[in-house]
Amino acid sequence: MTTLIVDDHTGFRTSARILLQMEGFDVVGEAVDGASSITAAEQLRPELVLLDIQLPDAKGFDVARDLLSRGFTKRVILVSSRDESDYGDSIRTSGALGFVPKANLSGERLRSLLSRESLCD
């Protein structure tokens, strides 16, 4: 599955890329903020965007809505080093498939969220 990683923290992007590749995801690109993620997604048309919520120039929720409504991708999974409960219902209303805390990021968690999508279909 082609994947775009969006996060401003280099360390996390590196770890996430290694992890996702090990789990069989095809990491096609990385972006450091909201604006560059839109550009990258428009070019790459990734099947999945792993999107950090705390971006330097925007909130991940808004970026997610933007990416989905413009059809640059069909699936967005939000990540953050904060807890899910810190964001209230913003995650649910953003159109993203779901949320994974950064420290718990794993192929299993991602696949579980992706399968929920296919169930909905």
In a 3-state reduction of DSSP, which class is residue 119? helix
Min CB(58)–other proteins separation in Å: 15
Distance, in Å, from the CA atom of 29 to the CA atom of 9, rounded to the nearest integer, reads 15
Interaction with other proteins in 52-71: which residues (CB under 8 A)?
54
The answer to whether 60 and 54 have CB atoms below 8 angstroms apart is yes
Distance, in Å, from the CA atom of 102 to the CA atom of 34, rounded to the nearest integer, reads 18
Using the minimum distance from each CB to other proteins, give the nearer residue, 9 or 45.
Answer: 9
Among 43, 57, 71, 81, binds other proteins (CB under 8 A): 81
| Size of the residue set binding other proteins (CB under 8 A) | 17
Structure tokens at 72: 């640059």
Interaction with other proteins in 84-113: which residues (CB under 8 A)?
102-103, 105-106
The answer to whether 34 and 57 have CB atoms below 8 angstroms apart is yes
Residues that bind other proteins (CB under 8 A): 8-9, 11-12, 14-16, 18-19, 22, 54, 81-82, 102-103, 105-106
